[in-house]
Amino acid sequence: MKQIWQALKAHQQAVEHRPILDLFADPRRAESFSTRLDDMLFDWSKTNIDHTARDLLIDLAGAAGVSQKRDAMFAGRKINETEGRAVLHTALRNMDRPVLVEGQDVTAGLRETHARMQAFAHDLREGRFTGQGGRITDVVNIGIGGSDLGPAMACLALAPYADGPRCHFVSNVDGAHIHDTLKDLDPATTLVIVASKTFTTIETMTNAETARRWMERRVANPAAQFAAVSTAADRTAAFGIDASRVFGFEDWVGGRYSMWGPIGLSLMIAIGPEDFDAFLSGGAAMDRHFREAPFAENLPVLLALVGIWHNQICGHATRAVLPYDQRLARLPAYLQQLEMESNGKRVAMDGHELALHSGPIVWGEPGTNGQHAFYQLIHQGTRVVPCEFLVARDGHEPDLAHQHLLLVSNCLAQSEALLRGRSLDEARAILAKKGLTGTELERQARHRVFPGNRPSTTLAYPKLTPAMLGRIIALYEHRVFVEGVILGINSYDQWGVELGKELALALQPMLEGRAGTEGKDGSTRQLIDFLGR
Ligand code: F6P
């Protein structure tokens, strides 16, 4: 592998200053550096990856053992070595084929839970399950991280399909979040879902207690309007939630990979079980493709290799996810957890420090909003930010098709501008046409230069349907897996979140004035004095 990394680095240095635009001298450039899966198009031709780089990257994936590790994951081996767990979120969307965990087929249990979720969602949507004040009008999902971001992102993404009760999401321990969410709701017609894999997360349990007190003020039996999603049946029972409204899952489903199962209950209630199944089938289609397509045509593998090229080989520290879809506004936040909690690790599986950088910083906002905010830096800043655009051919509002075309043209304009840029001579000519001359023209022209040669990819698809969203999310999940395998890290643990949690527990009594601040650094002591009671 070391030789392949070295060859990639040497090649990157050799082509670093070659304009990406020159690669389009080959009339087949766009087609050769694009990959299709049915009606989905991943265009990665506006990157500096050429035939040599592509072949080396594919060799890298082969040498890292991506196929073997992929097969081990699907076979239920304990590839999450630091937690001694299998990684089988894919089973949640492939319940019709045997999935073995320690020699046992687990799909019967998955199907049973799925059927209970469907029955509950139907009952609730059709008014058979009611609140103590009548039909359920609102559902509040209380969870954080993987127990929040997936369903919250997907409920917004699939808003055109939402015909059930309104869904709300409370995650932050900041009381403002639950206060502002509950203030306009009627406790007698609200269902609260407490979603927590562990059922110990302090933010979620604190908000769940607050919701219970809110409900108690209006209804006789608050527990009857609570449901729970968790791997910890003992803790959900201790909280007082009846087992008939508890939907369990196993510890081989990681929190940030869990929206396909019971953590997606709020989504299923919002869009209905049939559309939820379409979402699952989209994920399953991507799984099949990931397992069967050769690397040179394999969307998740190629998306990962583009990421490795930009992050580890070219040294770009961040990547921007830029959906030209307002309903994908939460996708960047969702991918932040998926990618950064999975691949933000400084040691390899064997405990040795990584020789290369870990996964990149992921960030973004929907277009066109971002264009009027941070794109300035993307176009003219000194750092290169590889951009990942997502765009649908059609929107969901036929009477606003003209606005959709404007949206699409903006998306294409951005990747074209990043590719081409604008030279000093072009800037001079534009200013000369406007009547500027001499030193003023020269001074102004420099500010109007766009260096261009900035890489981007575009994922294009016909429409953001439930099945398409399923495909997109599974694509990114597998991308994270492939990048993790190439970097040699465990993408499925998250020890990096623990230290802050421990310190917060110790700080609370200090802020309340119940414990001394000995041992704290001067800054923390000062802040405790300032903010404490
Ligand atoms: O603290 C990080 C984390 O464990 C995430 O990995 C997880 O998605 C989130 O907290 C919520 O955890 P839980 O579902 O157990 O409440």
Q: What is the pLDDT of residues 435-490, one digit of tens each?
A: 999 999 999 999 999 999 999 999 999 999 999 999 999 999 999 999 999 999 99
**203, 337, 341, 497, best to mutate for ligand 1 pocket (most atoms within 8 Å of CB):** 497
Query: Which residue type occupies 485?
Result: V
CA of 146 to the centre of ligand 1 (A): 6
Cα–Cα distance for residue pair 456/376, rounded to 1 Å: 15
What is the pLDDT at residue 164?
A: 96
The pLDDT value given to residue 202: 96
Q: Is 371 helix (H, G, I), strand (E, B) or coil?
A: helix
Tokens, residue 80: 């999450």
- Nearest-CA residue for ligand 1 atom 9 is 145
In SS3 terms, 278-334 reads as HHHHHHHHHHHHHHHCCHHHCHHHHHHHHHHHHHHHCCCCEEEEEEECHHHCCHHHH
**How crowded is the C-beta side of 109, counted as CA atoms within 13 Å?**
11
**Secondary element (H or E) of residue 335:** helix 331-335
Cα distance between residue 215 and residue 188, in whole Å: 7
Atom of ligand 1 nearest to the CA of 255: 8
Pocket lining: 455 vs ligand 1, CB cutoff 6 Å: no
Residue 197: CB within 6 Å of ligand 1? yes
Could you tell which of 153, 171, 198, 229 is best to mutate to test the pocket of ligand 1, judged by most ligand atoms within 8 Å of the CB? 198
- 313-316 CB contacts, 8 Å cutoff, 24+ apart: 313/8, 313/9, 313/12, 314/12, 314/16, 314/48, 314/384, 315/357, 316/360, 316/383, 316/384, 316/385, 316/386
CB distance 497 to ligand 1 below 6 Å: yes
Cβ atoms 225, 171 nearer than 8 A: no
- The answer to whether the beta carbons of residues 487 and 346 sit under 8 Å apart is no
Q: Is the CB of 326 under 6 A from ligand 1?
A: no
Stretches in the chain below the pLDDT threshold 70: none
- The CA-CA-CA angle for residues 500, 504, 509, to 5°, reads 160
What span, in angstroms and rounded, lies between the C-alpha atoms of 509 and 361? 34
Residues 219, 495: Cα–Cα separation, whole Å: 40
SS3 4: helix
Establish whether residue 196 lines the binding site of ligand 1, counting it when its CB lies within 6 angstroms of any ligand atom.
yes
Residue nearest to atom 10 of ligand 1 (CA): 145
Other Cβ atoms less than 10 A from the Cβ of 462: the count is: 13
Q: Map tokens 């051919």 to a residue.
A: 393
Q: Is 204 in the pocket of ligand 1 (CB under 6 A)?
A: yes
C-alpha closest to that of 198 among 409, 461, 494, 451:
494
What atom of ligand 1 comes closest to residue 256's alpha carbon?
8
* Residues 143 and 205: beta-carbon distance below 8 Å: no
Protein residue with least CA distance to atom 16, ligand 1:
196
What is the C-alpha separation between 388 and 415, in angstroms, rounded? 9
CA 67 – ligand 1 centroid, Å: 29
Q: Residue 12 has what pLDDT?
A: 98
Q: What is the pLDDT of residue 102?
A: 85
Q: Which atom of ligand 1 is nearest to the CA of 258?
A: 8
Please list the active-site residues: 341, 372, 501
Structure tokens at 363: 């960030």
Distance spanning both ends of the chain, measured CA to CA: 57
Distance, CA of 242 to CA of 459 (rounded, Å): 44
- Residue 342 near ligand 1, beta carbon < 6 Å: no
d(CA 186, CA 342): 38
Most informative mutation of 80, 147, 480 for ligand 1 (most atoms within 8 A of CB): 147
Structure tokens at 532: 């404490």
Q: Which of 198, 201, 235, 340 to mutate to test the pocket of ligand 1 (most atoms within 8 A of CB)?
A: 201
Say how far apart CA 495 and CA 345 lie, in whole Å. Answer: 9
For ligand 1, the distance from its centroid to the CA atom of residue 150, given in whole angstroms, is 12
Helices and strands of the chain, counted as H and E runs: 21, 15
